[in-house]
């Protein structure tokens, strides 16, 4: 492992000075994100400025994302290289839609890829694809995240047919879907010829303040940065996934996602 994509953005506690220190002290390449994580509404600041806001005006959210990418986040000197947004159980609320469209605009202006948070059980990725397509986004430059939370292969096939990558990216969060089901779903999608449209990860965090610290090892014992290489890869190989397919999901696909550059 030599690269981590950190999708922590506004709404999740992003603090880039700490990431900068960690990157300087390790051999890891850490790619950081811009965007906004919201469950149903935008932060209060955006209630006043922008389309449909109290004072109106252009969409300042997209400008902020572009600035993070082209100039750097705040005064850190660190440039974001991927965009993040979210659609959860409430669906595409007005606030969520505004974020999705702002992310799409920023993507069109910069060309950096988009990775999303979704509630797979309610098939939220399809709504995201619809809005991105309306904004002219090339869906092959989008990763629909948390697709590993479902065994609904028809849903996953729909997302891939529209052009997107799918994130099988919550290994270790077994409370949403057991480990064996996650492995089996990836294996089935590989059998269908889709290794070139999947990326693997774990959605893990080094610190998570939504739960008491002592609870996490008990509730989520496999939710850590080594789970993919220690447990997931051996299980996939045992299930019949080839080493070439694993390399495609862990190396080739991420490289292809980030090598495509330039706005359009």
Tens digit of pLDDT for each residue in 104-113?
A: 999 999 999 9
**Better pLDDT: 168 or 2:** 168
* pLDDT at residue 205 in the model: 84
User: pTM (2 decimals)?
Assistant: 0.95
**Better pLDDT: 53 or 241:** 241
**Stretch 229-245: mean pLDDT:** 98
Q: What residue numbers bound the domain in which 218 lies?
A: 3-259
User: Under 8 Å CB-to-CB from 106, ≥6 apart: which residues?
Assistant: 34, 62, 65, 66, 69, 83, 112
Say which CATH number the domain at 197 has. 3.20.20.140
* pLDDT at residue 191 in the model: 99
**Stretch 74-91: mean pLDDT:** 96
Strands 114-118 and 82-87: parallel
* pLDDT at residue 38 in the model: 93
Mean confidence (pLDDT) of the chain: 95
**Better pLDDT: 87 or 206:** 87
* pLDDT at residue 62 in the model: 96
* End-to-end C-alpha distance for the chain, whole angstroms: 32
Residues 171-220: tens digit of each pLDDT:
999 999 999 999 999 999 999 999 999 999 999 887 777 778 888 888 88
For 57, 65, 125, the CA distances from 164, given in Å and listed in that order, are 32, 21, 10
**Stretch 146-172: mean pLDDT:** 98
pLDDT interval class at 36 (50, 70, 90): very high
**Better pLDDT: 42 or 113:** 113
Q: Is residue 131 part of a domain?
A: yes
As for how many domains the chain has, the answer is 1
- For residues 171 and 148, the answer to whether their CB atoms sit within 8 Å is yes
Which tokens is 57 given? 């005006």
Q: Is residue 121 part of a domain?
A: yes
* pLDDT at residue 167 in the model: 99
Measured distance CA(58)–CA(110) in Å, rounded: 18
pLDDT at 246 over 90: yes
Percent of the chain at pLDDT exceeding 90: 83
**Better pLDDT: 215 or 130:** 130
For 153, 158, 185, 196, 198, the CA distances from 192, given in Å and listed in that order, are 10, 13, 11, 11, 12
Q: Is residue 129 part of a domain?
A: yes
**Stretch 153-165: mean pLDDT:** 99
* pLDDT at residue 211 in the model: 79
Q: Is residue 264 part of a domain?
A: no
For 116, 187, 219, 245, the CA distances from 231, given in Å and listed in that order, are 25, 15, 17, 16
**Better pLDDT: 257 or 212:** 257
The Cα angle at residue 245 between residues 139 and 232, in degrees rounded to 5: 100
* pLDDT at residue 198 in the model: 99
Scanning the structure block, which residue is given the tokens 């149903």? 40
* Helix, strand, coil shares, percent, the chain, to 5: 45, 15, 40
């Amino acid at each position: 492992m030599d690269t981590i994509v950190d999708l922590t953005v506004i709404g999740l506690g992003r603090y880039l000075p700490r990431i900068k220190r960690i990157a300087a002290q390790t051999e890891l390449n850490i790619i950081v994100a811009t965007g906004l994580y919201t469950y149903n509404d935008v932060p209060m600041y955006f209630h006043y400025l922008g389309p449909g806001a109290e004072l109106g005006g252009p969409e300042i959210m997209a400008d902020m994302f572009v600035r993070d990418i082209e100039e750097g986040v705040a005064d850190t000197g660190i440039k974001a290289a991927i965009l993040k947004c979210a659609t959860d159980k409430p669906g595409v609320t007005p606030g969520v839609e505004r974020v999705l469209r702002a992310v799409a605009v920023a993507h069109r202006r910069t060309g950096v890829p988009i990775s999303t948070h979704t509630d797979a059980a309610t098939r939220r990725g399809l709504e995201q694809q619809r809005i991105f397509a309306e904004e002219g986004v090339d869906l092959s430059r989008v990763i629909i995240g948390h697709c590993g939370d479902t065994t609904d292969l028809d849903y996953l096939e729909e997302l891939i047919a529209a052009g997107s990558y799918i994130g099988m990216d919550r290994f270790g969060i077994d409370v949403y879907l057991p480990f064996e089901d996650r492995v089996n779903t990836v294996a089935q999608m590989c059998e269908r010829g889709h290794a070139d449209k999947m990326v693997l990860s774990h959605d893990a965090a080094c610190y998570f303040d939504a739960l008491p610290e002592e609870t996490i090892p008990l509730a989520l014992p496999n939710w850590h940065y080594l789970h993919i290489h220690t447990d997931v890869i051996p299980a996939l190989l045992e299930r019949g996934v080839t080493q070439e397919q694993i390399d495609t999901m862990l190396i080739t696909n991420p490289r292809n996602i980030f090598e495509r550059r330039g706005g359009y």
